[in-house]
Structures are given as C-alpha cells and as structure tokens.
A and B are shown apart, each in its own frame.
Chain A
Amino acid sequence: MQGRNGLPVCVKNMSDNGKEKEQVTLTIDGKEISVDKGTTVLDAATLMGIHIPTFCWHPKLDSIGACRMCLVDVEKFPKPAVACATEAMPGMIVRTDTDEIVKARRGVLEFMLLNHPLDCPTCDKGGECDLQDNVFHYGIDKSRQAFTRRRVIDDQTTDAFDDKRIGPEIIRNMNRCVTCYKCIRFNKEIAGEYDLGAYERGNHTVIDAAPGEQIDNFYSGNVVEICPVGALTNTDWRYKIRNWKAKQTLSLCSHDADGQNIMLWHDQRQLWRATSRRNDDIDDGWICNIARYGYQYINSPDRLKTPLIKKEGKQVPASWDEAISLISKRFKEIKDSKGSVCLAGLIGGNQSVETAYLFNKFFRNKLHTNNLDYRLEYIDLKGSDETEAYNCLYRAPFTIADLEQADVVFVFGSNFIKDHPAINLRLRKAYRKFGTKVYTANPVETKSADISLDEMIYSPDTETAFIAGLIHAIIDNKYYKNIDETKAAEVKTMLAPATLDEAARLCGIEQERIVNLAKVLSEANNPYILAGDYFVASAKRHRTANGMYDLANLLGIKDSNAIILASQANSMGADRVGVRPRLTENLKKTLIDKWGEELPESPGSNTSQILNNSLDEEIDGLFILGANPAMRYPDGPFVNSALDKLDFLVVADLFETATSAKADVVLPLAGWAEQSGAYVNVEGRYQKFEKAQDADKGIKSGIEIIHSIARAMDLSLNLDNAALMHETKDIVDAFEREARDEAKFFEVKQAQIPEHDNYPYRLLVGNDIHHFGYVTEHCPSLMRFTPEPYLEISPNLAEKLGIDEETLVRIESTTGKLVLKARFSEYFEGDVLFIPNNFSATEVTGLVSREGGGWVKIEKLDDK
C-alpha cells in the first residue's frame, strides 16, 4: 500500500526469473528517473517520492483505471493518462502538478462526494479513509449538489443506516461505496471466489453477495482492508475504537506455519483487531481469516486466571507459590526415586521459539531427560519416526516467494487453502500470472481443483502406492535424470506394489494419468513437489516420505523444491532448537557447546512413545506447555487413559481444556501477544513478534513458568530474556541440515490397509477451514463462521444413504461413536467423510484409531 502504517512502499516485480531488466528513463515533474522496463508511471513516481492519489489501484491487483484519480499529463498524449496503467516509455515527460491535473482530481473527488453520505462521525473508516484524506488535501468543502442523495435502500427492518450484513463478519453500506471494484477484483483474481459481485450498472451499481449467499470465503477479511472508504466494514471492529487511539504492534499469525505478518491494534489491555503488514516474501499483503480474527482468544473472558491444584479429586484455585513448590517437589521426587527418564515434556507448536529453547534446556540440561516433543497432533509410530528421508524433506530450504518461478507444481496430500493459506495464494498467483501448471493428488476433492490441470483422488491410505506408481512410471518410461539404467532397475525392485499396473489399481487412479504426471514433471525446468497436512497426518507418512525422496532424486528436483510442509506456527522453530528426542549431530554439538555439558544418554521418547510409556507407568511426570493432546491427538480414549495413569501431570495453558482437566497442577499461560518472541515459519525464516500488552496479573508466560520451576528446584537456568533471545537466535542460525543425497534411494513399500469390513467409509479429521487447533473456539468472529462441528459428506453419498442436510447422523468406529449434523460438501464426491476437531464439547479423536486412521460406518439418526 502507499505508505500506510508507516511502512515503505515495495515495488518489486517478481516475474523475471531474476534476470537483469532493461532500464527506461523518463522525466516526472522535471526530475529524471531510470526504472525497469514494464514499470508504470505511478510506481516510478512513488519511487521518486511523488505522491499520486489513487482509489482503485492496488500494488497486487491488475490496474483497471476506474477511479480516474491518478490522471497525469503526459506530453504528446491527447488527453490525461492514468498513471497506474501507463507503462513508462523512454523519454516520456510527465507532469503531475499542472492546474488541469489538480482540477481533474478535484473533479473526481467532487463526483465521488455527490452521493456519499456524511457518515464520517459514525463510520469506522474515519481516520484511515482515502476519501477523507484526499478531500482534506484538495480542500473541497462546499457542495454544489443540491439534490437528495441517491440512497441504496436495503430490506432491513430499520433503514437508519442502510448497513447490511452480507457475511458473518462483513457489513456493507452501499451508500458509501465509490465503486472502485477492489473488493470484487481481489475476490476473483487473488482468492478465486465468486461470492461477491456487482449488480445493476451505472449510478445504481450495487456490490452485493451472490443471491442467497454470504461472503464467507476464507480470505473475505481482506476485502474490508482494501476498501478505500467505509463501505465494507468488519463486525469485530465495528464501533469499537478510533484507529488513531489504538496502538500498533508488529506481530505474526500464531496458528499456521506460513508466518503471515500482521499488525495488532490494541489499547487499554484489549486487542482490537489485526491487519496485514505486507511482507512480499510471504503473504503479499493478504492474510487469511484465521490470521485476521484469530487473535480474539487473547481477550476471551474464559482465560485461566489463577493456578489450580487438584486436591481430593477436585481442582481448586491456588497461589503461584503453592503451585510452583508442589511441582518442584514432585519433579524432584520422581527424578530422585525413579530417574529422570521418567520425566517428560510436551510443548505446543505455537509457543515461541525462545520458550521452546528454554523448555529444551530445562529438560535436557537440568532434568537430564530426552523425552521431549512438540508434535502433538499426529502419530509418530514407534520405531519409525525420524527417518532420514522424512527429516530431509521436512527441513528443505523452501522459499514461498520463489514458488512464482515454478513451471510445474505438484501438490500432494494437502488441502492447500486450509493448511497453508499464504502459500495457496502464492500458488494461485503463479498459476494466474506466470502460467504455472498445477497438479494435485489428494484423498478428497479440494478447492485447488479449480487451478489444477489434473486432480487425482487416490483411495484413502494408498499414498505410498500412488508414489510407488509414479516412480514406476518414471522408470518404465525412462523419465529419470542423473542415474543409469542399472540403478533405475535396482530402484524398481525397492517398490511395493511391484508394477505400475498394480499400483494404479490399488490407489484407484488410471495409469495414463500417473504416466502423464511423471512426464510433465520430468519435462519441467523448475518443478516443485509440496506435501501438506493429509500427508503429515497419515500414520504411514514415513513410507511415503521415502517415496517422495526417491521421486525428487529421480527427477533431479532441486533441494529446495521438494518439501513436506510443517503445520504449526513454530513447528520449524521447535525442530531447530531441538525439542525432540533425537537430534542431528550438528545440533547436538551446538547444544553441548552452549551448555558446556554432555547431553543425557537415554534414547528419548517422542509423543507417541511418551503416551505409551505413561500408560505402562514407565513415565510418571509430564509437563504439557500450551498443548491439548487429549483433544487433538488421535485415539482419544488411549490418550485419556495414558494421562490418567500418570503420577503427576502439569498443564500450562490459556484455557481449561480436556488435558488440563486431568492435571494435578494447572497453570495459567500467557498468549503470544502478551510476550515478545519469535517464530520460525515453514521456510525456516526466523521472524520476531512484539509484545502487544501485558497479561493480566496472575498469568505468566511459558518462559517465566519454566524459570520459576527451575529456581524452585535450585536448577537456575541463568538466562535473562535478552540472553535467551540471543542464544536462541544463535542456535536457530547455526542449524544445518544435510542436503538431499542425489544418489540415495529408499525402499517404498505400501503398508497394508487394515481390515474394515463393517466400517466402509474413511473418516478424515482435521481443522475446519475457519478454525485452527483448540483455541479458535474462543474467537467470536471465527465462531460466527463455523459455530459448531458437523459431518462433511458428499452429496452423492448422502443421497445413497438417504441423509438430508442438517439431519443428525450417528458415526461409529471400532473405538468410539458420535452424533453430528450432516453438512453437504461443496467439493467431496466420493465416500470420504470429514469432521472438524476444533470444538471442545465434541470429542472426535475417539473415532480415530492409532493404527490405520479412521474407518467408520454412519447411519441416519431418526428423529424421536
């Protein structure tokens, strides 16, 4: 944007593969400037510091020249030209300050004000309104319009404001609209959604939701931010505070792993809103609804305010001193009597990287145990975690911005719009502007189908077979690079199923399509393979990761271009500072250097092993910081019984959760906006966020809690906040990953799909598109989008089983049962079902077993 938020305008042109662009020299207002070929006059003027006002221009949208505000006088042009769409030509002479141009701008403003209501006192946009600013600058104070203003009257019971709610979070006042079309252009061009449109024409143009629809797409909050006037406003900012009264703080989205940059607005110890803080390397200025509304849980009245201690089976409020001394006493007891191998720590993926590092240091260096993990949402099977292929691909040096240079992108096992909203928009930009070819392979149909050249739907749990088939196709047709025939034949023997035919049959995709994908990937100059949450959540993902590794090597894909994308805000950060049982050699050395001591020798357990060991009573003390495995980890009953068996469980969290209900000590935790720190995003990029406000008295941050416990146990960690930040940054920077070995190939064997005769439908469990994890339940805006859980079912299957929309359905698996309302899916076509796991009142993980995922049977519940 043009200098809003005090940030400099960024005029990067990303389309040229880094080549040197031709330079063009032109003169603006008497001063010469040299710019890249293809730059517009508007961008050239901005680079020179000359401000040309605009309404309908946006740096990331195609210019349409609709508002006519940026008219400039170009010599030799018969009439003024729009600076936002006129390409700078060599020798052009431009003037932006002639009398005619000033008159033109005043004319345009006068036209806009003709029917614009005098709403400034009640309009939320006051103080940040382009129209207000420009009118003030050009000094138009007398109206020559003597007619009743045109009023767009809606079907409201009260016509006091003509404010119409056109979406769960968006309120539209058509009288204020200056018809710049930015909202529609964003929706159509960037997000690929069509729920907002223009109706009628001329002076009576109305911007509205499609008939019968609401604006509830995942990026809908952005239309409010780019509206230059107060025509579209957010419900969560409505009548709350004036923008000049609120303070702004740099921050990051604390939910998904893309690391979208946001600006938090706050005042009086209350967060008021989040807006985007444009970062061209990651989010391009567009943030998803979860990033935009997902701060509200910090304000929630349900936050834990005091520590709780379980006394006689009930949790009662207690003081911090009492809680900390109890924790230190019990931990010491367990350590001294049974050994530190009986202590374990689990930390959530949205805790800052400093918290994660301190957690690591406390458990490894002071409590001498390697039982640490941060992966609490999916299973790591015993003995198969930490494989070389998986780790190598997980840590690939991927860059979001470089995705624009890709010519073929293969998205594998990901509902991209849900898992990685910023990367999704970047992929759509590559498709739209640079002609990138996209192929997707998923267990269900997703929105990406609208840009995908071939959307392949494989049968559930057959990802490994699919990859094996792809490798077969490459080897059979000699699409491989960098290896010889004997090596290729050797690789072929490492695959199961053993032929392309078998693989295609198993995963349910026609051979021709697999061969075609192999061909396209092999002919590409800069292909990418991106794997996401369906991949990561699958229990057999290490087998598939082997396949992806082999695939990348066979096709000669660059090291940075094949990646398994992390899922949480600080997953990569926790990985880099070593919150996991097994560390890379390099990281071990760094930690030993920093701490001056050897690391504990015990092998260490990951989440799954910790829970298993808890059930077997081999682990007695567990500290869970900012995580909720009882609700989110697969197989709820197993997790619950494991936690019950623990001798001593400490849970530190923002809210009371299913996990905290089992704890012996519950500590109130500060949220990310109440401390400063950093996250490491999916690219491995270290990004800082600042503290927006102090936590309420009685709530402490994770760092403070760990320090308190360490002090109470006489194990001082000797790190003040500044030193902690430095040390953490050093460790993150020092992290080295082994590059993918082009000569190495792993075996790719499809695991057997378990018997599920009576349970014919595969259930996928994950986040609803407007929720993330377990905290967004406390965000009122996100709850307006999706207030309750549902069973997502394809219309075909529903018709077969006689299920109507909104009817109750009983879902049963071998481990549990549930009753939910059915909802027809926009995308699903087959026999796969989906239930969102974001609502604490509905325990979903009971349906998902630890061995083979969730196979269920469903039946309609008759109304009694």
Chain B
Amino acid sequence: MEQVFLKYIDDPNQHKIDTYIEHGGYQAIQKVFKEYQPTEVIDTVKASGVRGRGGAGFPAGLKWSFVPQNTGKPIYLACNGDESEPGTCKDRVIMENNPHLIIEGIMICCYAINAHHAFIYIRGEFAHPAARVEAAINEAYAKGYLGKNIFGTGFDLDIIVHTGGGAYICGEETSLLSSIEGSRGNARIRPPFPAVEGLYKCPTVINNVETLSSLPSIFNNGVEWYRSHGTEKSPGTKIFSLSGNVNKPGNYEVDLGTPLSYVINDLGGGIQNGHKLKAIIPGGSSTPLLMPDQIDTPLDYEAVAEAGSMLGSGAIIVIDERSCMVWVLMKLINFYAHESCGRCTPCREGTAWLKQLINRIENGDGQPGDIELILDVCDNIMGRTICPLGDAAVMPVRSFIQHFRDEFEYHIEHKKCKVETDYPFV
C-alpha cells in the first residue's frame, strides 16, 4: 500500500534535511508559495477532505476557515505533539523519523492562515523525539527555510518547540494553550473557541502532528491522488498503532477504510499463540469496545461510528480471552483518574470515585449495587464536563460493563476473576 508518513521509515538518515530533500522534501511548500494564494490553500485542503488525526476527526480545512483574518491580532498555529492517549504511538514515529515532514506541513498551514509563529507542543516524556525535532528545526533555520523571508518569499515564520511536563490533559486543545502560556494545564470553557480567542487571546489553530504531516503529500501529488486513498468521507492514509495480544505489534500505515481484520491478522500477524479474540479497542482507550463479530469493520470514521465506537487516534488494542475485563478496565480508569486536571467537579471527583469502585470490584470487595452505582456516576459525568476527558473516561467504563457485565457480576459475587488464566500481568 502506498505510504505517506512511513514511506522512508527504513532510512536511518531521513531525519536529516539533506536526505529529506533528496527524497523530494520541501517541494510542496515551494509550489504552494509560487502557485497558491492563502485562501486557495485552504480551499484545496477542504477539497482534499483531510480530517484531523488527533481523535476528533474534524475537517482540517474547515477549521482553518474559521480563523478571522481581520482582528489585528497575530494568528498562531499550535501543533499538538502531546501524544498521551493510551495505545497511541503514531506521532512519535513521525517526530523521530521524519521531522521535516511536520515542519513542511506547518509551513503550508501557516501560509494558509497567515500565522508567523508556530508552536510544536511535545510531551515531556518524549525527550528523544523532541531532540530530533529541534535539530530538524535548526537545520531548517540554517538553510533559510525558517526565520525571516523563508525561501526568499518575504514570509516570516518561527517555530518554537515547547515540551510539556507530563500531563495527558495537555493534549486537549485549551489545556495545551494554557500550558504554552505558562499556566497550569487546566481546560478552558468554549466558547470562546480557540480559532477566535486562543493562545494569548489571539486566533489560534491547533492541529495534530499527523494531520499537518499529510499536507505536503496533498500538494505534491494533488487532491485526486489524495482522495484516491481511503473512502469518500474519510480520504487519505492513517497510521494505526497496533498493540495488545498480537504477534506483530507496531505502527502500520494503511488507507482509511481498510478492514480491521486486515490490520490485525495480516499486518499484525494474528492473535498470539492462537488464542481467541475477546475484544478490540479501535481508537485509543477512550473509545468503546468492538466485539469479535465486528472484526471486519472498515477503519474509517463513519463505519466505526456506525459500529458503536470511534476511530479516535487509531490506536488498536487487541484483547484476547486471557484477559479479565475488570482488570483491563481498572488499568484504564486508574489512568484517567490520575490524569484529570481537576478543574471541573464531575471529572475531578467522579473519575476518582470510579477508580475506587472499580478497584474495589477487582480486589474482591465489590458490593451488590456497585455496577448500578458506577453507571449512575457515569451518567453524572458524561456531557457535564468542560473538556472531553470526562467523556473519555466514561465511554470505556460504559462499554466494558455493557459487553462484559457478567464478568463484573462474577467478581462481585465470587470475589475473583471469572477468567482463569496464567497471564503474567494479572
């Protein structure tokens, strides 16, 4: 399958600027400067239908068109490299292997929205990828591709790398902006939306690393080429981070619309040791489960949504029959309770309470009525929070209980796992 992000994954020098140029890099941006007006760039991106790869799947071109150009305030671009969704490791590989792809994508986006400052927010734990990105930026500056008058066109662009302090919440756009401004990474209420009032109260566009990285290929090869991959409503390619009980976990770039079974069985080598598939988390831990009978679901935004889940960030976690679902849910809810920013009451208190309840069930102290209580708490969190972290915590809880209620009831009644296993991590 034709690849965009992982095309040169095997070349150890791809992160260097000379190799990148050799492989056809920095051609798209020069083409854009020569042949396109900013509004035309936005139209082209809209026409190509590229959707945000951070999880929400919002059309990128449409997001750019919301930015008001006439406020007199500077416009900023923030590139979201705070990849913390459990299961996701796709942005990391782009940052390590092909950082110039991101830089070129940023250049295209900044030209389109008339931004002269861009920030790449990289999570604090990514020391090595951040170092690669910073080195790539320095190379670009040295060649005159960044700074004043890039490529001799009179357009100024500065890119600043900002590393985070270790918070999943900073992947949420308003918290990311708060973090860049130097404050605590607390979510902000919307409206006002970042496109109108974002970083330092100026219009800001926030896009995921992968979204920006797909821009050069669109302008190099054209909209038709891009639309020839993927489906009508979800065009293009995507990296899926496959993990869990498969033989060959890793990052795989495929067209959107590829069936899930292809990714798990063909690319991933199938379930380890021939065990039976139990459940699949299709788009990072915040998404509801898919059951084994849904394994042929095509991996695009619409089909997965129809199947009752979300494509999200494209991190596929495969769970086989050896895993106790209560234990898996406990691991997930511990993560969300730890990562809640603490600003709004339902998420701050509710995720901690869910953590206590689910841990109690897993440890054998579950009381009758706990499952109803958990679902009631979920009702009080869902839709009542400032940012989607609350929803993200609640959706797996509801989904696990919906599909595997018997395991929870067994835990409460018998005080141990229903699944008899010698799986080492339980």
Contacts from A to B (Cβ < 8 Å): 63-69, 71, 78-80, 82, 85-87, 103-104, 107-108, 110-112, 114-115, 144-147, 150, 178-179, 181, 198, 200-205
Contacts and interface: CB of A to CB of B under 8 A. Distances in A.
B339 A107 contact: no
Given A111-B350, A146-B367, A179-B348, A68 B384 contact: yes
B386 interface: yes
Interface string B330-366: 0000000111111111101111110010001000000
A107 B383 CA distance: 12
Contacts of A108: 345-346, 380, 384
Contacts of A68: 344-346, 384-386
A203 B348 contact: yes
B191, B340, B349, B351 — which one has the most chain A CB atoms within 10 A of its CB? B349
Contacts of A205: 342, 348
B307 interface: no
Nearest to B183: A188
A104 B380 contact: yes
A409 B79 CA distance: 40
A66 B345 contact: yes
Contact of B353 (A67, A114, A204): A114
A interface: dominant SS: loop
Given A78-B383, A107-B380, A150-B352, 6 more contacts: A66-B386, A67-B344, A80-B383, A145-B353, A201-B185, A204-B342
A111 B385 CA distance: 13
Contacts of B350: 111
Contacts of B385: 68
A107 B337 contact: no
Contact of A203 (B185, B191, B352, B384): B352
Given A67-B344, A205-B342, A112 B349 contact: yes
A110 B380 contact: yes
A216 B149 CA distance: 51
B1 interface: no
28 contacts: A63-B189, A65-B344, A65-B386, A66-B386, A67-B344, A67-B345, A68-B344, A68-B345, A68-B384, A85-B189, A107-B384, A108-B380, A108-B384, A111-B345, A111-B350, A146-B367, A147-B356, A147-B360, A150-B352, A198-B184, A201-B167, A201-B184, A201-B342, A202-B351, A203-B342, A203-B348, A203-B349, A203-B352
B21 interface: no
Given A68-B385, A150-B352, A107 B346 contact: yes
Nearest to A112: B345
A198 B367 CA distance: 35
A181 B169 CA distance: 18
B373 interface: yes
B51 interface: no
A569 B337 CA distance: 53
A79 B384 contact: yes
A111 B349 contact: yes
A201 B340 CA distance: 7
A86 B340 CA distance: 24
A198 to B, nearest CB: 6
Contacts, number: 98
B411 interface: no
B188 interface: yes
Contacts of A181: 343
A54 to B, nearest CB: 12
Contacts of B338: 202
A70 to B, nearest CB: 11
B384 A179 contact: no
B201 to A, nearest CB: 12
Nearest to A114: B349
Contacts of A179: 342-343, 345, 348
Given A64-B189, A68-B346, A111 B339 contact: no
A202 B347 CA distance: 8
Nearest to B347: A202
Given A66-B344, A111-B349, A202 B337 contact: yes
B384 A71 contact: yes
Contacts of A79: 383-384
A152 to B, nearest CB: 13
Contacts of B343: 64, 66, 179, 181
A67 B347 CA distance: 10
A391 B425 CA distance: 84
Nearest to A78: B383
A835 B367 CA distance: 67
B341 A202 contact: yes
A733 B351 CA distance: 62
B342, B352, B379 — which one has the most chain A CB atoms within 10 A of its CB? B342
Contacts of B189: 63-65, 82, 85
Nearest to A69: B345
Contacts of A201: 167, 169, 184-185, 340-342
B386 A203 contact: no
A205 B347 CA distance: 13
Contact of B352 (A87, A103, A202): A202
B242 to A, nearest CB: 30
Contacts of A147: 356, 360
A422 B373 CA distance: 50
A108 to B, nearest CB: 5
Nearest to B369: A144
A67 B348 CA distance: 10
B384 A104 contact: yes
B122 to A, nearest CB: 19
Contacts of B339: 202
B121 to A, nearest CB: 17
A80 B380 CA distance: 12
Contacts of B352: 114, 150, 202-203
A836 B356 CA distance: 55
A87, A111, A204 — which one has the most chain B CB atoms within 10 A of its CB? A111
Contacts of B384: 68, 71, 79-80, 104, 107-108
B340 A203 contact: yes
A87 B197 CA distance: 15
A66 B187 CA distance: 9
Nearest to A82: B189
Nearest to B382: A79
Nearest to A206: B342
